[in-house]
Every structure is written in C-alpha cells, then in structure tokens.
Structure 1
C-alpha cells in the first residue's frame, strides 16, 4: 500500500543543479523522477540521456558543469 509518505514531490532541476554545484566533487542533478522518455531517450526529471546518467560519476567537474548548462537548455527547449 502506498502512503503519502512514500510519494516524493519531484525536485526542480534548477534547484538540484545549484545544490550540485556547491558539492565537492560536483554532485548529481537528479530530481527524483528517474523515468526515461521513450521518444527522446532523456530522463523526464533531469534531462540526461541514459549514457550521461551511466557515466556521470566518472566525469570530471568541468564536464559536469558543462552538462548542467545543456540540461537546462534541453528543459527550456521542451517547454516551448
């Protein structure tokens, strides 16, 4: 049985990215959605591809920060 305690409200991508930037090493932009869109192949929460999700931990901080800009751009493009 699912209770209201079991249901998490998805986090805002911009907020998770700002939090991740303050962590050492740079943290994950995960928004607790974790579901890939069948059409685009991107996560519906953080807008990373399956490959980006798999390799994120091994990326250096500069690559993670560059990816954050791309994620926000992907989210903006989808909103149009």
Structure 2
C-alpha cells in the first residue's frame, strides 16, 4: 500500500493531553496516538469514528 493510500492522521499540531488522556487538538487518546503508525486502514478508520464522537461530545459539553 502506498503512502497516498493510507488513512491520514487527524493531528492538527495542537498536542496536549487532557486529564482523561485525550488530545485537545485531534481528540485521540495517548494510546491511539502512540499506535497510529502501526495501525492498518480499518483500525485507523475505527479510531477516526471514536475521534468524531469525542469531538462532538466536547462541543456539546462546552
């Protein structure tokens, strides 16, 4: 698989974990960030679904 075919990281270069170990920039957990480069595309898509849910929840709470 070429680099162009891989699901890209949601990183926005605002790297700071909150008290729940979730990045305030990309909404991934510390573990998800650490393992990202080792995940296949299906696993990355699963992480992105969780990211979308976390982002939506953070908007509702604020």
Q: Normalised by the size of structure 2, how large is the TM-score? A: 0.83
How many equivalent residue pairs?
57
Instruction: Please say which structure displays the higher CA radius of gyration.
Output: 1
1:31 matches 2:12: yes
Q: For residue 65 of structure 1, report the CA deviation from its aligned partner.
A: 0.8
Q: Normalised by the size of structure 1, how large is the TM-score? A: 0.66
Any unmatched runs of 5+ in structure 2? none
Structure 1 runs, 4 residues or longer, greater than 6 Å off: none
Q: Distance in 2 between matches of 1:25 and 1:74?
A: 22
Give the secondary structure class of the aligned counterpart of 1:43. Answer: coil
Any unmatched runs of 5+ in structure 1? 1-22
Higher helix share: 2
Q: Distance in 2 between matches of 1:43 and 1:72?
A: 13
Q: Give the CA RMSD over aligned residues.
A: 1.0
